[in-house]
Structure 1
Amino acid sequence: MSLEGLRLEVKRPTSETDTVAELQQTRRWYSAMRAAESYRWTGARGLTIRRVLRAVLKAAQLRHSMVIDFGIRHLALLAGLDESTVAKILRILRDEADPFIDLVRAHHGDRADTYRLLIPQGYAEAAAWRRFQPGRLGGIHPVFRMLGSPAAFLYEHLPTDTPTSRFELRSLTGLSATAVSTGLLALAEEGMAERVRGGWVRGPADPGDVATRLGVPELVKRIIAKYRRQRAEWRRFLAVVEAFGRQDIHLENHPIPLQDIADAGPPPWMEAEPHGPPSLVGAGISAEP
């Protein structure tokens, strides 16, 4: 089901009741996704897909809506991944036979692609009956840029008190035995997981403190600065394209000859997001972990 190409008015929740209903629906979507992820998306690429899905979920919770218009770079920050990787994964997800997301409106001007979160028919029962997970959902903490995907999914399920065995963690996360061992080792080395009698629990280390120690905030700030430079390049290119259609253009306003820019074409990074990066302002994005 695709509504791409149609004029579509995307409505936000207009009342507290609508907002609550939409947030409940995002939790149902999460339940359906959790029921599917261990079997539907496997291997290394499967872990990447699962990170992107959590970024999509986080965007939906920030918007209080099952319809989101976050750009690829926003989702990349929420997933802790490169933006080109996120662009590829979104194409894979929306092309699935029974998709969890649908592209309902393509980008236009400063507006990003708009996606609707879908609960596939095959997972509707799981969405309806699976117990909701309490607390905040979605997104990948920036520290897992360094610690990796297995550590991220294990940390989701590690309890703070009752120990969980490796076998149980494999069942909960859908990770292989090797991935569980790798992830637990990464967490334990940073104090975020501890082996105790009966299994594993979360360690005392705070993810934010670990991220700071590993230099993650500085890394994220550099990424955001890159995105802002790319947006400036994109706007300049669009201005040049527009200027070629005008008769009153003043060349002195353009330090680089217009023809040189036109001949060079758009910056190469636009291949992943041809319409350019939407603004980072107002999307709940922070350089802090």
Structure 2
Amino acid sequence: MSIHGPDGRVATLCLDFDTSKALKGVVDSDAARVGQLLFACGMRFVEDFSPSGGRHLYVPLQDRLDAAEARELVEALALMATSLDPSPHQNITDGCIRVPGSVHKSGGHQTLITPLSEAYDVLRRRNPSRGLVELRSALAPELARKRALKAREAKIVAAHRVGGLPGLPLTGGSESPLRRVARTGLYDTARHKSASEARMAVLNHFSACGWSLQQVQGELTGQFPGLAALYGSAERQGRLLPYEWAKAQAFTSTAASTQKPLPRKRGEKSALINNTSRTLTTGGAEKPSSAGVHQLVNDLENVLYGVLDHRLQARGREGLSLRLLIRGLLGYMRAKETDILDVGCRTLAAAMGKHHVTIARLLPILSAASDGILTKIADARQKAADVYLIQLPDQYQQLARELTWRKGKIHAIRPVFRALGDPAALVYEAIERGRHSPTTAEIVRASGVSRNACSAALAEMETLGMIQRHGRHWKVTALNLTNLAARLGVLDDYQAHIGRNRRERAAWHAYLDRFRDGHVNEIDLYDAERDEYWLPPDAEPAIWFAA
């Protein structure tokens, strides 16, 4: 049946969940999840299944919908459902779907799941337009992500045309094989002979990246339903998952213990182990206590909000990045419980969603503008990063003690703000860490963001459900920002960023190895086929740093 009419409009949204895109278990879970979303939006639908295991959902509409609007909705739904094939709505002239009762190409017929009397009633009393309004509101993150992807592709295409660079890819990189297995359940039989081997490969990688069993179980119904489908049934999953997870942990711990440290040249002395390790003291200084570091961070936050923020606001756009960079350093300082940081620019860049060259340019500027708070004490050498000391200068001691500590944690760029931008991060912080629910004018003053940028950020975050307005005052909601970041596609961007950092580090280490002896350790090897780092999901991560 053709989906589009002669005028190019549609009277029914046709959602095709295909087993060629994911395993049947993923198809069933996707159809159930999308069905629950439609029901929550007050929309009724008709459902059927095919002999191949696929499913169709038909959503009849009272008012015919333009093809572009229908395509946008279906493509947004495809971002949250792996097995959903949006192609029927992507072709105005030839887009079609097999309706209930139709003969299937593999034999058999499309079978109606919805009772016939109920299906007749749904088709006769079609969904009003208010259901589409609710659906668009529920799919706001996916719609924003799709628009951003299209804008990025259009920008790249335009750059290729102007620069004469035909044939270059439009995206930052392809999806890693193990991530695709975890998402769809489909695996390369040349690499994994059975579903059991594919499961163990994914679990080994989760274990190596620091995930816990609870985090893995939580994502089986989230972004990685394919891993659950590889078990075949819930009973088998409950029985095998703890056992296979224990095997994965044993394997990764054994592999880590067999790695040998890099050999040191004779006569060479260094207080640094690698570019992300804690600095070793060289004598005369003791490691500050955990409570002392946390108190120091709290005092530095008071100085940041009372003095440094206002000083950096005068630097315009550069000031936004500097303010977030100092927040990132304080967050890393609290997480690692140390006042001496030797964090590489690429690690900071991945945490903040910026280019490492930008971070390298901003660090000296921040050190000069911090009035003694951030001080460089050692230069980078070989694989070691620059070393910085964070301290509370004498001139700010009294100010830090007089001001009251603020509630909550300090953050740099949390995952979701890689998509929403720096102004939105500061606006959200002003609401989240304010001593009371602020008005728009108070947010402008507290965040140091222009009125127009603040209003735009508030409107966008309200649409995404991150904040809500009560009269003239704004409050944050209980929305999980990590889940929202996944829906906005930020996790894929972070994955690509980490992969790029690994490749660049591997090239740099290979260059350094030219000046060493011929011995090669396992830790020096880089496997281009290995999947990149996956960050474990947290309810509210303080700051993102790669291991």
For this structure pair, what is the TM-score category when the shorter chain's length is used for normalisation?
Answer: 0.7 to 0.9
| Cα distance in structure 2, aligned partners of 1:212 and 1:25 | 33
Q: Any conservation in 2 of the 1:26–1:61 contact (CA below 8 Å)?
A: yes
Say yes or no: does 1:20 pair with 2:302: no
Report how far residue 23 of structure 1 moved. 1.5
Q: Any conservation in 2 of the 1:51–1:139 contact (CA below 8 Å)?
A: yes
Query: Which one has the largest radius of gyration?
Result: 2
Aligned counterpart, 1:33: 304
> After alignment, is 167-176 or 157-166 more displaced?
157-166
164 and 19 in structure 1: CA distance in 2 versus 1, 3 angstrom threshold: same
| Cα distance in structure 2, aligned partners of 1:206 and 1:96 | 35
Report how far residue 206 of structure 1 moved. 2.1
| Pick aligned residue for 2:480 from 206, 222, 225 | 206
Where do 1:138-217 residues align within 5 Å? 138-159=411-432, 163-217=437-491
| Pick aligned residue for 1:107 from 380, 398, 423 | 380
| Cα distance in structure 1, aligned partners of 2:388 and 2:368 | 13
34 and 128 in structure 1: CA distance in 2 versus 1, 3 angstrom threshold: same
Aligned counterpart, 1:257: none
Q: Any conservation in 2 of the 1:163–1:197 contact (CA below 8 Å)?
A: no
Aligned counterpart, 1:47: 320
| Pick aligned residue for 2:545 from 275, 285, 289 | 285
Percent identity among equivalent residues?
Answer: 25
The secondary structure found in structure 1 opposite 2:364 is helix
Higher relative contact order (CA 8 A, sep 6+): 1
Deviation per residue, 1:146-175 (Å, 9 max, x gap): 101111111112259964211111232222
Say yes or no: does 1:56 pair with 2:329: yes
Say yes or no: does 1:221 pair with 2:499: no
11 and 32 in structure 1: CA distance in 2 versus 1, 3 angstrom threshold: farther
The secondary structure found in structure 1 opposite 2:369 is coil
225 and 40 in structure 1: CA distance in 2 versus 1, 3 angstrom threshold: same
Q: Any conservation in 2 of the 1:80–1:141 contact (CA below 8 Å)?
A: no
| Cα distance in structure 2, aligned partners of 1:199 and 1:123 | 32
> After alignment, is 94-103 or 212-221 more displaced?
94-103
Deviation per residue, 1:160-215 (Å, 9 max, x gap): 99642111112322222122112212211211122221321113432112111110
In structure 2, list runs of 5 or more residues that go unmatched. 1-269, 272-278, 520-534, 536-542
> After alignment, is 195-204 or 52-61 more displaced?
195-204
> After alignment, is 204-213 or 153-162 more displaced?
153-162
Report how far residue 139 of structure 1 moved. 2.6
Aligned counterpart, 1:83: 356
Q: Any conservation in 2 of the 1:103–1:113 contact (CA below 8 Å)?
A: yes
Report how far residue 14 of structure 1 moved. 6.8
92 and 173 in structure 1: CA distance in 2 versus 1, 3 angstrom threshold: same
Q: Any conservation in 1 of the 2:309–2:323 contact (CA below 8 Å)?
A: no
Q: Any conservation in 1 of the 2:383–2:509 contact (CA below 8 Å)?
A: no
In structure 1, list runs of 5 or more residues that go unmatched. 1-6, 250-280
Deviation per residue, 1:36-71 (Å, 9 max, x gap): 244211221111101111111111112201111111
TM-score by length of 2: 0.41
Q: Any conservation in 2 of the 1:41–1:49 contact (CA below 8 Å)?
A: yes
Structure 1 runs, 4 residues or longer, greater than 6 Å off = 12-15
Q: Any conservation in 1 of the 2:382–2:512 contact (CA below 8 Å)?
A: no
Deviation per residue, 1:70-98 (Å, 9 max, x gap): 11112122223221111111011123382
Q: Any conservation in 2 of the 1:36–1:123 contact (CA below 8 Å)?
A: no
Q: Any conservation in 1 of the 2:350–2:544 contact (CA below 8 Å)?
A: no
| Cα distance in structure 1, aligned partners of 2:370 and 2:289 | 29
159 and 117 in structure 1: CA distance in 2 versus 1, 3 angstrom threshold: closer
Report how far residue 121 of structure 1 moved. 4.4
The secondary structure found in structure 1 opposite 2:507 is helix
Report how far residue 285 of structure 1 moved. 2.6
**Which amino acid counterpart does residue 71 of structure 1 have in structure 2?**
G
Report how far residue 284 of structure 1 moved. 7.1
Report how far residue 126 of structure 1 moved. 2.5
**Which amino acid counterpart does residue 224 of structure 1 have in structure 2?**
I
